[in-house]
């Protein structure tokens, strides 16, 4: 995709489509006002007749508009001027791109980037625009047979800017948005693949392939024998009931010499039956998404590698299946973690924390500047926050606030959740150092407290994405979150933001 910026008036651009907006009370956006003037009130007449809507998410494609050079004008609703923020902006862009999908549009100019969007400068407007375009055009067709629908042949995507001094910021925003969109796309693809394809071995092959030809990125894969020698009894207890071999995926991106790395740890349960603590049948097919933590950190690695950020980042993915085989771990079994701490497995369906704790301990060897784990960890998190925000827990107020601010800036929002001894006390066991569950109350928090027992001395944060990693229902599919949030954290850390 080629990205460009322009200070030209919308009516003078010979694009296949120009995106403009209208506000409540028939107020025109900057681009729409220019189109309306050139067409001698064409848009105003359509607004008065009720043929154009200012409601956010609505779009109408106009053709053969008099006095303008573009073949099409996409008129999107922007709602009230006082409520135009990044969320409404992205919704408007998505509506326009969706309306164009299926057409033969090759070049689009988005003039909405001229508007006063709360909290967004030219960098973020261009970045949100490109990310939204990528998200809207995403289709998962890899497993479908027969003739596939051809995508819109979009090859040039431009953003209007008010002055030439904004060009560098907008260009960087488009560049970063393109890389983040690629990372989101990869995360979605990995999540949407069925579990008979996307196995731990498949994830390992994807990670190895990403490092091929990239001098800054290396990948190594640890097998079960190597994990056993390291003492990863907790991780291996989860994979005990399946014939599919577990893999520990370790990716290292070196963009900043000897600086301490940020380590991202992603839960990679490629299918979760619950083990002996078997899940109910309805919607169990969605447990292929239990590796979306892994997909998210691998997608983030793809984004930062494409941006060539001056930062060191490591990704660690414990990849397993959780199956109820004859050799599977049983409720009441006690396992020994790599840290030496023992765990009473009261519920084999609380398996994510069992693989993450050993991955966190393994990550100590990197002496990280910060460590962030990402996991579809608890149904309790979905009850607490729904499908809108990612839960953020941390032993560092500064790191928690950093991630929260990054989520807001990236339009990939999280919400801080507590940790504390009063919750950790629920994990006491009569027979081991700790139990792997703490009862029904505060389940998302006690899961975080469990992981916290393996992070002493590290700046650590835990992101529970159980509610945000995928969508159910008619639009079922991976969301690619939290790739934008994590990318924002890394962009800010290395000073790559304008």
Q: What token pair was written down for 206?
A: 């994807």
CATH topology for the 10-137 domain = 3.40.220
Identify the pLDDT of residue 148: 77
Strands 156-160 and 107-110: parallel
The contacts of residue 490 (CB under 8 Å, 6+ apart) are: 262, 300, 304, 309, 311, 313
C-alpha separations of 318 from 3, 459, 463 in Å? 37, 20, 16
Stated length of the chain = 498
Query: CB within 8 A of 303, min separation 6: which ones?
Result: 179, 180, 182, 183, 184, 483, 487
Token pair, residue 87, equals 């969320």
Residue 279 known to be catalytic: yes
Locate CATH 3.40.630.10 in the chain. Answer: 183-493
Q: How far apart are CA 396 and CA 413, in angstroms?
A: 19
Please give the pLDDT value at position 1.
94
Mapped onto helix, strand or coil, the DSSP state of residue 459 is coil
Confidence (pTM): 0.97
Q: Which ranges constitute the DSSP H helices of 109-166? A: 122-137
**Which secondary structure element, helix H or strand E, spans residue 149, and what is its range?**
none
pLDDT for 303 equals 98
CB atoms within 10 A of CB 496: 17
Strand, coil or helix: what is 462?
strand
pLDDT for position 443:
97
Q: Please give the C-alpha separations between residue 290 and each of 186, 262, 274, 293, 395, in angstroms, as whole numbers.
A: 16, 23, 11, 7, 25
CATH for 183-493 (3.40.50.720, 3.40.630.10, 3.40.1190.20, 1.10.240.10): 3.40.630.10
Find the Cα–Cα–Cα–Cα dihedral 420, 426, 430, 433, rounded to 10°.
-40
Give the whole-angstrom CA distance, residue 438 versus residue 420.
13
Residues of the chain with CATH 3.40.220.10: 10-137
| Segment 62-80, tens digit of pLDDT | 999 999 999 999 999 999 9
Q: Which two tokens stand for residue 248?
A: 């520990």
How far apart, in whole angstroms, are the C-alpha atoms of residue 58 and residue 51? 11
pLDDT attached to residue 150? 83
pLDDT digits (tens, 9 = 90+) for 431-464: 999 999 998 899 999 999 999 999 999 999 999 9
Closest CA to 178 of 143, 214, 216, 128: 128
Give the residue from 291, 246, 234 showing the smallest Cα distance to 266: 291
DSSP summary character for residue 231: T
Active site residue 58: no
Q: What CA–CA distance (Å, rounded) separates 217 from 111?
A: 37
Contact 468, 387 (CB under 8 A): yes
CB 198 within 8 A of CB 288: yes
Query: The tokens 């619950």 sit on which residue?
Result: 274
Q: Which of 90, 169, 172, 353 is catalytic?
A: 353
Q: What's the confidence (pLDDT) of residue 149?
A: 80
182's CB contacts (< 8 A; 6+ apart) are 134, 302, 303, 306
Residues 6+ apart with CB under 8 A from 94: 57, 132, 135, 136
User: Mean pLDDT per 10-residue run, the chain (498 residues)?
Assistant: 97 97 97 98 96 96 97 98 98 98 96 98 98 97 86 95 98 98 98 98 98 96 98 98 98 97 98 98 97 98 98 98 98 98 98 98 98 98 97 98 98 98 97 95 97 98 98 96 98 97
Which among 216, 279, 306, 336 is annotated as catalytic? 279
Contact (CB, 8 A) for 454 and 385: no
**Which of 31, 126, 34 minimizes the C-alpha distance to 76?**
31
């Amino acid at each position: 995709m080629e990205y460009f910026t322009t200070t030209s008036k919308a009516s003078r651009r010979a694009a296949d489509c120009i995106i403009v907006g209208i506000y409540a009370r028939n107020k025109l956006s900057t681009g729409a006002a220019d189109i309306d003037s050139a067409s001698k009130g064409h848009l105003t007449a359509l607004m008065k007749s009720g043929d154009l809507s200012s409601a956010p998410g609505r779009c109408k494609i106009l053709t053969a508009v008099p006095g303008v050079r573009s073949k099409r004008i996409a008129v999107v609703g922007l709602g009230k001027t006082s409520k135009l923020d990044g969320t409404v902006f992205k919704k408007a862009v998505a509506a326009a791109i969706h309306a164009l999908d299926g057409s033969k549009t090759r070049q689009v100019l988005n003039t909405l980037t001229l508007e006063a969007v709360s909290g967004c400068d030219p960098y973020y407007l261009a970045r949100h625009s490109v990310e939204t375009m990528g998200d809207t055009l995403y289709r998962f067709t890899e497993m479908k047979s027969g003739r596939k629908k051809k995508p819109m042949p979009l090859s040039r995507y431009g953003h209007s800017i008010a002055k030439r001094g904004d060009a560098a910021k907008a260009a960087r925003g488009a560049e970063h948005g393109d890389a983040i969109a690629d990372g989101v796309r990869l995360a979605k693809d990995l999540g949407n693949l069925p579990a008979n394809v996307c196995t731990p071995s498949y994830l390992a092959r994807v990670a190895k392939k990403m490092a091929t030809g990239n001098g800054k990125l290396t990948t190594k894969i640890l097998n079960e024998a190597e994990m056993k020698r390291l003492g990863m009894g907790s991780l291996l207890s989860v994979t005990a009931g399946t014939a599919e071999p577990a893999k520990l995926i370790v990716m290292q991106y070196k963009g900043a010499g000897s600086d301490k790395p940020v380590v991202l740890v992603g839960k990679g349960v490629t299918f979760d039956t619950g083990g002996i603590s078997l899940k109910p049948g309805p919607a169990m097919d969605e447990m292929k998404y239990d590796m979306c933590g892994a997909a998210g950190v691998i997608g983030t690695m793809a984004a930062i590698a494409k941006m060539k950020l001056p930062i060191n980042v490591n990704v660690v993915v414990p990849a397993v299946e959780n199956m109820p085989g004859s050799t599977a771990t049983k409720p009441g079994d006690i396992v020994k973690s790599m840290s030496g701490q023992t765990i009473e497995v009261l519920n084999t369906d609380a398996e994510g924390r069992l693989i993450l704790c050993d991955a966190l301990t393994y990550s100590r060897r990197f002496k990280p500047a910060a460590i962030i784990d990402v996991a579809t960890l608890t149904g309790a998190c979905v009850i607490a926050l729904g499908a809108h925000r990612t839960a953020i827990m941390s032993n560092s107020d500064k790191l928690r606030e950093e991630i929260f601010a990054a989520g807001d800036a990236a339009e990939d929002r999280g919400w801080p959740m507590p940790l504390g001894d009063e919750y950790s006390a629920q994990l006491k066991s009569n027979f081991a150092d700790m139990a792997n569950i703490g009862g029904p109350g505060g389940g998302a928090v006690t899961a975080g407290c469990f992981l916290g027992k393996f992070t002493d001395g590290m700046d650590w944060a835990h992101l529970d994405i159980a509610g945000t990693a995928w969508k159910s229902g008619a639009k079922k599919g991976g969301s690619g979150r939290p790739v934008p949030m994590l990318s924002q954290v890394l962009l800010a850390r290395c000073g790559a933001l304008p």
